Chains A and B, each alone.
Chain A
Amino acid sequence: MNATTIAPAGQGWLARALGDIAVITRRNLLRTLRLPEVLVLSASMPVIFILMFTYVFGGAIQGALPPAAAGRYVNWLIPGLLAQFALFGGSGTASGLAEDLSNGVIDRFRSLPMAGAAVLAGRTLSDLARSAVTLTLMVAVGVGIGFRPQTGLGGLLSALAVGLLFGYAWSWVMALLGLAVRTAEAVQAAVYLVVFPLAFTSSVFVPTQTMPGWLQPFAGNQPVTVATNALRGLVLGQGALPPGRTVAGQVALALLWAAAITAVFAPLAVRTYRRTVS
């Protein structure tokens, strides 16, 4: 065997990078399929949230709901939880990268003549696919216990699309987190630290108007609330939104958040990746 070098024969940089992204995405999805227990466990959490909040807190919160919820807490809850779990779906990015880092896979990737950003892009894209499955499952469970989108299928699909884009942006935050924190256990704690405060101070579970005055300026405008409002507006209509908010406005703002988060965190994550050695 002679030691010839493999040249990227005539391929452009972009084609190579896209090819690398596809290879990494496929690898991650294959891993997900080979570990069905992980898939089942990660899908069970949103289902438990749906059931727990609908049946345990639903009765107490019912009274505070706007009429657009058609008298059902589950109608109000589902779009919020979709936003929360779109965000939470990125946690796979953090723990997956931490795992690859701890067993030397990142070192191997970094020593290969591949596009560096492909490792992160492939990771975030495979998580996007996983989130799509999770969100679909949530809608199915929701419909099973009485969730009825008030604006038809188009509204529901738009809501899922906005939720996934919003979640995708957060997976870049999670990528940075995974590379910075590095161990699987610490990643789990760090993810909760990001996700739960944001989710519970948002309009996911209760209208922010019921929160104390000092918290309202933050709660009413933070990104998870914006995304939740956008999804809720898309499935329940204008009436589900707080006064002064429009569906189109909240959707545009949610997409703007997604773009801004990606624009800031994707380059930071790639830069950190390039300097990371296990």
Chain B
Amino acid sequence: MDDDIVQLENLVKAFKGEVRALDGLSLTVPPGSVYSLLGPNGAGKTTLIRVLSTLLPPDQGLARVAGVDVRADPAGVRARIGLAGQSAAVDEVLTGRENVELVGRLYGLSRRQARQRAGEVLERIRLAEVADRQVRTYSGGMRRRLDLAASLVGRPQVLFLDEPTAGLDPASRRDLWALLGDLVDTGTTVLLTTQYLEEADRLADRIAVIDHGRLVSEGTGDELKDRVGGSVLAVTVPEVDRDRALRALRGVGGQDPTDDRHHGKVVLPAPDGARTLTEALRRLDAADVTPEDVALHKPTLDDVFLALTGQLATTPNGNGHDPWGGADRRSRHHPERAAR
């Protein structure tokens, strides 16, 4: 559709000597929505943001942002977007206000306009009180918010946020979520990447699950959950019995079980609800496995993710289970690390 604010058609980007980071990705983002790209590390999320924000040229395919082709008119795209990357790209020794004014000036605002506009966004992002302090005195959450303020100063039509809450503590994360929610009321389209299902579920109108540079599934959170089917069966078994349980449950309910090591469970789609449950218990009994716990529940996005990518997603408050949450750039090239 022509009124889609971001359009991708068959987008391909490969890096030297590596697999394709984007491998024929197509999707559209309706204007005025929050759209989330959900996927494990190495899925191609950051590459996509970089292509859309004109930092990297695509190898093949079409990418339009606010109606402008990123390859044909990168300068035109830059005038219409805001970008907040993975690390807060703010200057430690400048004040918050100086940082935002600097970016405003580089968007082409006059000195007076930049000052006024910086005041507005700092107010909105709730940094007005600390705006004249040097950024080195800010907490991690405040830096992220300042980075967001800088990306808003040019009144972008589309805002790209690359893992906006990676590395933040839960309280700062909730703060930022609230702010992002407010943003949408102003009509800006937000395209954000995340590894956190909770984040996507909470913020986004629509979610695209991507893996290995390809679109795995797309829709609202509810649609994605429906796609996994009726219910999900989670069986907790002792560590020593896990392999036996996995073998025993193969084919129950028509699909193979997934090993959710993170939570110590074996997870299985249960399209027939209680009937699948009975069958599963019968098989486990036959294999001489006694489960510690059995639960039949409506699928969460976690289950969706697991079913669609065969990988576990990261949880935002991961109880120390989140070694890649800091999003070290190098780990991006090791998708398999996200698999545990």
Q: Name A's B-contacting residues (CB within 8 A).
A: 1-9, 11, 16, 19-20, 23, 27, 30-31, 34-35, 103-105, 107-114, 277-278
Contact = CB atoms under 8 A, between A and B. Distances in A.
Contacts of A278: 85, 329
Nearest to B83: A111
A7 B76 CA distance: 10
A108 to B, nearest CB: 4
Nearest to B156: A3
A153 B318 CA distance: 69
A278 B55 CA distance: 10
Q: Which of B79, B86, B106 has the most CB of A within 10 A?
A: B106
B195 interface: no
Interface in B168-205: 186-188
A111 B91 contact: no
Interface stretch (B97-105, B256-264, B282-290, B300-308): B97-105
Given A3-B187, A107-B50, A109-B106, 20 more contacts: A6-B107, A6-B154, A9-B108, A16-B108, A19-B105, A20-B105, A23-B102, A27-B102, A30-B93, A31-B94, A34-B94, A34-B134, A104-B89, A105-B90, A107-B89, A108-B103, A111-B55, A114-B78, A114-B106, A114-B108
Interface in B41-74: 50, 53-56, 66
A190 B258 CA distance: 51
B108 A113 contact: yes
B79 A7 contact: yes
Contacts of B75: 113
Contacts of B55: 107, 110-111, 277
Contact of B78 (A9, A34, A105, A112): A112
B108 A103 contact: no
Given A108-B150, A113-B108, A5 B91 contact: no
B56 to A, nearest CB: 6
A39 to B, nearest CB: 12
B108 A6 contact: yes
A3 B188 CA distance: 7
B103 A112 contact: yes
Nearest to B159: A3
A91 to B, nearest CB: 19
Nearest to B151: A108
9 contacts: A1-B155, A7-B108, A19-B105, A23-B105, A31-B93, A105-B91, A107-B89, A112-B154, A113-B107
B87 interface: yes
Chain A interface, >50% SS class: loop
A92 to B, nearest CB: 15
How many residues of B sit at the interface, in one of the four size bands?
35 or more
B338 interface: no
Contacts of A9: 108
B93 A35 contact: yes
Nearest to B32: A3
Contacts of A2: 187
Nearest to B47: A277
A107 B82 CA distance: 11
Interface in B223-278: none
A112 B157 contact: no
B85 A108 contact: yes
B187 to A, nearest CB: 5
A110 B54 contact: yes
A5 B85 contact: no
Those 4 A-B pairs whose CB atoms lie nearest each other, nearest first? A104-B89, A34-B93, A108-B89, A113-B79
Given A27-B102, A30-B98, A35-B93, A104 B108 contact: no
A114 B103 CA distance: 10
Nearest to B157: A3
Nearest to B53: A111
B120 to A, nearest CB: 9
A19 B105 CA distance: 9
A107 B83 contact: yes
B103 A104 contact: no
Nearest to B183: A1
B105 to A, nearest CB: 5
B109 interface: yes
A98 to B, nearest CB: 15
A8 B154 CA distance: 12
Contacts of A111: 53-55, 78, 81-83
A5 B91 CA distance: 25
B300 to A, nearest CB: 33
A229 to B, nearest CB: 40
B85 A27 contact: no
Given A110-B55, A113-B79, A6 B106 contact: no
Contacts of B187: 1-3
Contacts of B14: none
B108 A11 contact: yes
Contacts of A5: 66, 79-80, 155, 157
B188 A112 contact: no
B93 A27 contact: no
Contacts of B128: none
Contacts of B50: 107, 277
A214 B314 CA distance: 64
Nearest to A103: B87
Nearest to B160: A111
A8 B75 CA distance: 12
Contacts of A277: 50, 55-56
A104 B54 contact: no
B85 A107 contact: yes
A108 B157 CA distance: 17
